Structure 1
Amino acid sequence: MLSMARVWVQLVSLLLIVDHCCAQTNLIKLDDTVGLGRTFDGIGGISGGSATSKLLADYVEPHRSQILDFLFKPNFGASLQVLKVEIGGDCQCSAATEASHMHNSTDENYHRGYEWWLMKEAKSRNPDIKLYGLPWTFPGWIGNGTLDPYNDPNRLADYITKWVRGAKTVHGLQIDYIGIWNEKPYNISYIKTLRKMLDSNGLGKTRIVAADLASADKWDIASNLSMDAELEAAVDVIGAHYPGTLSTQGAVEQGKPLWSSEDYSTVNNNTGGACWARILNQNYVNGYMTSTIAWNLVDSWYKDLPLAGERESLMTANQPWSGHYELDTPIWVSAHTCQFTAPGWHYMRHGYGVGHLEKGGSIVSLVSPDVSQLTVVIETMSQEHSECIRPALPYYNVSAQNVTLQLMGSFVDVQEMEVWYTKLGFNGQGSLTFYKLPSIQVSKGQVQVSLGVDEIYTLTTVTTGKKGDYGTIPDSKPFPIDLFSFFESLNESSEAPYFSAQQGVFEIVSVNTWDKHLRQSVLEPPIPWCPQRPLLNATMALVGDFTWSEVEVRAEVIMVPVDGSGGVFVAARIDKAGCETYLARGLYFFLFPNDQLFLLTKDFAGNEVIVGGRNELIDKVDNTMELLVYKGRVSGKVNRTPLFNTTIPYDVPHNGFAGIGTDSFGYADWDFFGLRNASNPIGGKDYVLRFGRERRP
């Protein structure tokens, strides 16, 4: 790979200084005297839309900080300028749930989950990063007995306003933008109410983005704004998802900033990098969109959960137990723009530094607010290699070409520009990403460059660019053989490491001055985002390695007397998650302590019973449950007393996650959880994860 890099450096250096006297060249004028284009609002990533950053919080130092630096630290890695986070709603929205700040109307807690932590980490690295919150789901009480969050616009506006205010008063975070409801219909009355409530609570700096739609009518809110002066005053930004670099004439003419407020969603290999490079330029060239935000920020959830295996992220960090992470191509594509611009810069006018290249590709030029700095980003991504996951990309052709940049206006006296270069290789070709080339001299106001295909050039007067490096990244390792979780040392309201809630919310609670439990805390079905309504009044959290077949699961479970669930379970071989959680099969060991009843079922719904019965040794409050799946048999114990030992039915999944949960929405506590791969002997410290106090039950 090093030799390939040297080849590219030598080749590109020659291309930058080649004599263009006899070569056909495309002259592009960069001139600010004709006026400037729209204000640049930044490039960003999304944490959310299904707990995408869950495992990132579980990394330990120094690797956790390294990952965060590659995402947010200026002049180091991606140097992202916008962080968009999910406002948790206690509900599933693709691969896991995120906790709400208000499980019920009288509850307020601004320490749940990890989005607060992530926003603070981003801000600590880049104080100028913009923060953007958007709900995907809502706790059930918002709908007042319906599945409509707009049932009471005042109630919903108060709920969102409290989240914005909590960010500010509890965490010192200014939320710059707030959205309506991810990819769901908007409500005009609610938008107006939200604007008034934010203003009346001293949160007038928080601007509203509408309407985060991915449907064919994604830009139609522009016409509503033009017909409704109060709505137009309430909405600051028109945001759409996966626009394919195109907006509408009506949206452009409306005059509001246009954003691709969710985009990319493509595997983070070279094709994903090429997709990202193309849309970062062409969202403005074609659609006048001044911000592009990637779903998602970092692939940091179990690889066998929905969408995780597709790695639709800017980078990958899904192994906190090993410290392994991967710096994928989109990180360095982001750097080409983000390290040399900032929100508040301006694009140059179309035809004067912004537009398509003669033989394919595109150019954007941006200038600083004081017009002292200039950054030019050129991409030549081929159609074959840069198709995003959506929408379909019509055919076009790109070929090698020469371009001459004519610097005019405020930049006519520039003498030298730094050059950063990426070449994406396909079909066995090597790649070179974000490589600093020798500075290029400006002669008589002109810069001449020869462009190949699938390349990115950044030419800039900004001299602070850097390709960050932390040396050797830890090797990838499988999930540890043993996991023992006690919860006393974990922070109140946090989530237990490695647990991934699929329905309900599992969070740490103090039960007295010395003890903490993991508690399922959602008391009623939430308002969903998934196309399928959650058909089960039940909760579940997953943990472990999906490939495991033979496992031992142990847990101490404590029933809660007020608002408690009637039943609890431990499980193995769970085969489904995400929006299909309600269809999950596996081996589920249910306990209904008040009735001293146990069941072993083949499904999360509890309908397909393998064996069951009653036992007077089942305590009505506190029980230790053990489930062993080994050599074709499954056995269960409660308080060390055997309850069943039977052959595993043929139609039970062969492998899957382990898990815990409740038979209904209601409180239930876990004081201990243990998971062991029964196929392997204990392998020593490197193969054992422990959280909380050091003891074995």
Structure 2
Amino acid sequence: MTVTIMVDGKKSGRTYQGIGGVTSNGMTKLLYEYPENQQKDILNFLFRPKFGASLQMLKVEIGSDANGTGGTEPSHMRSETDYDITRGVGLRMAQDAKQRSKDILLDAIRWGTPSWLTDNERKYRYYLNFLKGAKDIFGLDFDYLAPDENEGDYSIDWVVDVLRPGLDRDGFSKVKLSGADSTEDWNIAPIIEGNADLKNSLAAITRHYKQDSPQSLKECGLPIFNSEDLAPFRNKFSFALDMAYKIIRSYASGKMVQYVMHPVIEAIYDNVPYTCKSILLAANPWTGHYEIQPSLWVVAHFTQFIQLGWHYIDSACYSSVPYSYLTLQDSRTQDVSIIVLNRSEAIVNFEVRLENISASCLHVWLTDEDQQFIQKKDIRLIDNKVCFSLVPKSICTLTTTTGQQKGHAEFDIPKEMQFSLPYHEDFNSYELGKQPKYTIDQSGAFEISTGGKDGRQCLKQVLVNSQKPIDWERRPTPLPYTILGGQELTNYKVSFDFCMEEMPERDYVGYVLLGARCNHASLTCDIPECYNVRLYHNGRWFLSCGQIVLAAGRVRDFSLCTWHELAMCCEQDKISAFYNGTVLATIVDQSIPSGNSVIGSGYNIVKYDNFKIEKTGNLPETCRRYSLCADGIEKTGKWTEVGNAADNYYRTLLRSSEKGDQIAFAFTGTALSLIGVVDAESGKADIYIDKGKVATIDCFSTSKMFRRSLFSIHGLESGVHEFRLVVSGVHQDDALGSNINLNAIELIGGLVLSDCSSG
């Protein structure tokens, strides 16, 4: 079978308005802690025209200090009188993008809501000051603005009676409004035909995670945007092609003329929600290492060949599960570009026929799993027709344009290295009001302040309970904490000096928190999954693993407005907490074998100084983590991949309940942990090391917990060892099933060998 693509240059469709991405929720923060050279290259790969992803629009979060998914974007106004437009990194990225691509479109939207926005007058001031600050301080003019909460409520009266006339009056008449960024339905779309004022106030209809639209909307006269959709998951090339399919389908089926991926970059730790998806990974700022994902070059198949203002040729736009194609034309030059996608397992033959287009040949660029963005031999047109075959699982672009390139970094990409110890931060090298490096706020606002222990600067959690933002509709914001440091740290001591101020409200119960081995920050309002010590303003303390209290007591000499010290030490399965150098408690627990550090508090003012992460004894301080899909790990039986949830490392989870199913590998190292999920449907398995049975594990738990150590062993002799897990197919009486759920292996002092056998 041959698929025919008819390209008629006289049958132009709607106007193309770009492919871009979202910077929000702290997911860009680590980028701006990269060395200057690598930071420059990364931004070029994202935004420089005809170089890399060459993104054509950028959507910025209007900060509120609420957690929108994986972190917070600081608010530019925390009260009616507070104002600092330089907080956060969103506008800085927009400025950097604009410097590289002067035609890039800018959009803005908020997730949470500052608590003081109690009426439309205050709400308008909040939006107006964002636009003014963006223009006055960063030199940015926004093209679009979403009037209300991301995927939340939408007020028509606010748009028609307040926001649109206010912007027109105050010098921002060119800022276009859109709506309603919903995931549930088309929201305001059915209303606009009966509401002329609303329709006249809007410049586009927006929807998230949807690639088709009703016919009535297509005929409404306003452009339609897919204003947020998934960036590809990192662990499979097929996800990159899925994104290409969504881009094509958004127009072929939905007549959507803009596609926006979330996030634009993954510059955040992958133990927070909604990670392991990106076109570029940049989460190693201490070395400058970054990784360009194959999906970046899939995006380039669109953005390097079609430009803002081009027109779709509807007859040459089509989407189906096995193959799809999208065609656009520059009405000024008559240049044409055809993007063709083959997601099937078979070769697909295509015939392209050009009508009312003058061309002698088509330039061809190809991407598959083995090679990305490679220019192939030109195809000459014979009788305005070309025939070609597209290999399975690939995408290609045929074009009359030139000037594209597979850009290369100007500076070397450093090797990935784990976070090195010792690490000491006194917070004296930053501007006041800024966030220190390597921190990812999940709630609250941790900023540089005066009044450190030595009289200089310190870190300060500045939000009080009355300033707690109104949550984004899709997730609660937890009590304040920030995550920092290497995710593969395992044996280490972490400490800081702290000063807890008087409680902001008389009845408020405040505390300070120090955490170690943070391996999972869930979507709940709970503190993260880590070992943590919390000291309350009345002297009560709790040592916990996540939410589970392991020890508790009271210190008698604690006082507010005085500097004290908290410390935690993790040595294999021994966890200790210290206050002013005295041991509060030592417990034995192996639930969480690795992770980074946490600084936290309630919604009360706490200052922190002399933050340290140090080695402990002679134990190795880092582990090496492997996905169960890594080379050298042998799986026998009926193991199945059961999901791509970000709760799991690498968005992978292998499951079996069949007696006798096995996981086996050879490894070197002195310690090993097997990471997976415990829940009410889990059962038992036997563990063998060097052919001898060493344990039977029971993965049952009344509460579902992710990234837990199902088995850990320390003190192995140096050399090669063999590991084998055998599913028992049995469970305890209270369990609802016999599942074993696995998603990672952690090794200390060694690595998985590629020549493992099942023994």
Shared topology, TM-score over 0.5? yes
Q: 1:438 to 1:155 in 2, by over 3 A?
A: same
* Structure 2 residue 503 is the aligned partner of structure 1 residue 528: no
- C-alpha RMSD over aligned residues: 2.9
For this pair of structures, how many residues does the alignment match?
Answer: 611
- Give unmatched runs, 5+ long, in structure 2: 622-759
Task: Determine if the alignment matches structure 1 residue 294 to structure 2 residue 261.
Answer: yes
The CA distance in 1 between the partners of 2:296 and 2:595, in whole Å, is 32
Residue from 287, 302, 315 that aligns with 1:337: 302
1:363 corresponds to which letter in structure 2?
A: Y
- SS of 2:382's equivalent in the other structure is coil
SS of the aligned residue for 1:644 comes to strand
Matched, 1:212 2:181: yes
Counterpart contact for 1:587–1:600, Cα < 8 Å: no
Displacement of 1:646: 2.5
Query: Could you say what secondary structure the match of 1:647 adopts?
Result: strand
In structure 1, distance between residues paired with 2:533 and 2:230: 41
Aligned residue among 654, 667, 670 for 2:605: 667
Amino acid at match of 1:249: Q
C-alpha distance after superposition, 1:290-349 (max 9, x if no partner): 0111112112211222232xx22122111112322111111001111111222111112x
Q: Report the Cα distance in structure 1 between the residues aligned to 2:384 and 2:455, rounded to whole angstroms.
A: 72
Check if 1:579 corresponds to 2:520: no
**1:106-163 CA distance string (max 9 Å, x none):** 1111111111211111111111111111111112222x4xxxxxxx233223212221
Aligned partners of 2:157, 2:618: CA distance in 1, in Å? 59
Alpha-carbon spacing, 1:587–1:446, altered in 2? closer, same or farther (3 Å): closer
- Give the distance between the partners of 1:660 and 1:486, measured in 2 at CA: 14
Aligned to 2:75: 100
Query: 1:602–1:652: 8 Å Cα contact kept in structure 2?
Result: no
Q: Which residue pairs with 2:202 in the alignment?
A: 235
Counterpart pick for 1:116 among 91, 94, 99: 91
Distance 2:30 2:21 in 1: 17
The Cα of 1:224 is off from its aligned counterpart by: 1.0
Distance in 2 between residues matched to 1:466 and 1:73, nearest whole Å: 11
Shift of 1:612: 2.0
Matched with 1:442 is 381
Q: Give SS of 1:254's match.
A: coil
Q: Shift of the alpha carbon at 1:622? A: 2.8
Which of the pair is proportionally richer in helix? 1
Q: What residue number does 1:11 align with?
A: none
Alignment of 1:142-157 (within 5 A): 142=117, 144=118, 152-157=119-124
Residue 654 and residue 354 in structure 1: after superposition, are their counterparts in 2 closer, same or farther (change >3 A)?
closer
Matched, 1:174 2:174: no
**Does the C-alpha gap of structure 1 residues 580 and 533 become closer, same or farther in structure 2, counting only changes over 3 Å?**
closer
Cα distance, 1:498 vs structure 2: 1.1
Please tell me whether residue 355 in structure 1 is matched to residue 313 in structure 2: no
- Indicate yes or no: 2:20 matched with 1:44: yes
**Partner in structure 1 of residue 279 of structure 2:** 314
Query: Which is strand-richer, 1 or 2?
Result: 2
1:15 matched to which residue of 2?
none
Counterpart amino acid of residue 257 in structure 1: P
Find the residue that maps to 2:123 and give its secondary structure: helix
Change (3 A) 1:652 1:416: closer
Secondary structure in 1 aligned to 2:94? helix
> What does residue 576 of structure 2 align with?
634
Residue 381 of structure 1 corresponds to 343
C-alpha spacing 1:653/1:421, structure 2 compared with 1 (3 Å): closer
Q: What code does the residue aligned with 2:169 have?
A: S
Given that 1:45 and 1:80 are in contact with CA atoms closer than 8 Å, whether structure 2 keeps it comes out as yes
1:29 paired with 2:29, answer no
Is this contact kept in 1: 2:271–2:520, CA < 8 A? no
Judged with a 3 Å threshold, the aligned counterparts in structure 2 of structure 1 residues 304 and 360 are, in CA distance, closer, same or farther, namely closer
AA partner of residue 303 (structure 2):
C
Distance apart, 1:175 and its partner CA:
1.2
Q: Normalised by the size of structure 1, how large is the TM-score?
A: 0.81
Structure 2 residue 420 is matched with structure 1 residue 420: no
Name which of 526, 529, 542 aligns with 1:600.
542
- Judge conservation of contact 2:47–2:55 (CA < 8 Å) in 1: yes
Using CA pairs under 8 Å that are at least 6 residues apart, name the structure with larger relative contact order, 1 or 2: 1
> Which residue does the alignment assign to 1:8?
none
Q: Given the alignment, which residue of 495, 514, 518 partners 1:570?
A: 514
Partners of 2:551 and 2:585 within 8 A in 1 = no
Structure 1 counterpart of 2:329? 367
State the one-letter code of the partner of 1:473: I
1:326 aligns with 2:291: yes
Structure 2 residue 160 is matched with structure 1 residue 195: no
Partner of 1:392: none
Q: Structure 1: how far apart are the matches of 2:495 and 2:14?
A: 59
Matched, 1:65 2:40: yes
Amino acid at match of 1:195: R
Residue 633 of structure 1 contacts residue 645 of structure 1 at CA under 8 Å; is this kept in 2? no
Secondary structure at the counterpart of residue 116 of structure 2: helix
1:388 corresponding residue in structure 2? none
Q: 2:244 aligns with which of 266, 277, 287?
A: 277
Question: Any gaps of 5 or more consecutive residues in structure 1?
Answer: 1-23, 145-151, 385-397, 425-430, 684-697
1:73-92 paired onto structure 2 within 5 Å: 73-92=48-67
Residue type at the aligned position of 1:552: K
1:249 and 2:215 are equivalent in the alignment: yes
Q: Distance in 2 between matches of 1:474 and 1:225?
A: 53
Query: Residues 474-502 of structure 1, C-alpha deviation per residue, up to 9 Å, x if partnerless?
Result: 32222223321122222333211111112
The aligned residue for residue 489 of structure 1 is 429
Quick one: distance in 1 between partners of 2:164 and 2:551?
Answer: 52
Would you say the 8 A contact 1:92–1:578 is kept in 2? Answer: no
Kindly indicate whether the alpha-carbon contact (under 8 Å) linking 2:450 and 2:458 is maintained by their aligned counterparts in 1.
Answer: yes
Deviates more, 1:101-110 or 1:581-590: 581-590
Contact 2:207 2:227 in 1 (8 A): yes
**One-letter amino acid of the counterpart of residue 472, structure 2:** W
Q: Which residue of 2 aligns with 1:9?
A: none
TM-score by length of 2: 0.75
SS in 1 for 2:372: strand
Question: How far did 1:247 drift?
Answer: 1.1
Structure 1: which amino acid aligns with 2:139? G
State the partner residue of 1:610: 552
Report the equivalent of 1:463. Answer: 402
8 Å Cα contact 1:482/1:682 also seen in 2: no
What SS does the aligned partner of 2:523 have?
Answer: helix
Structure 1 residues 532 and 607, CA gap change in structure 2 (3 angstroms): farther
- Give the C-alpha shift of residue 61 in structure 1: 2.7
Following superposition, the deviation at residue 581 of structure 1 comes to 4.4
Aligned to 1:3: none
| In 1: Cα distance, 2:77 partner to 2:534 partner | 29
Contact 1:481–1:680, Cα closer than 8 Å, also in 2? no
| Match 2:232 to one of 245, 266, 291 | 266
Q: Contact 1:323/1:474 (CA < 8 Å) preserved in 2? A: yes
1:480 alignment partner in structure 2: 420
Measure the CA separation in 2 of the matches of 1:166 and 1:96: 23
- What one-letter code is carried by the residue in structure 1 that aligns with 2:417? K
Give the 3 Å change call, closer, same or farther, for CA 314–651 of structure 1 in structure 2: closer
Structure 2 letter corresponding to 1:368? D
Give the distance between the partners of 1:367 and 1:44, measured in 2 at CA.
Answer: 19
Answer yes or no: is the 8 Å Cα contact 2:341–2:394 preserved in 1: yes
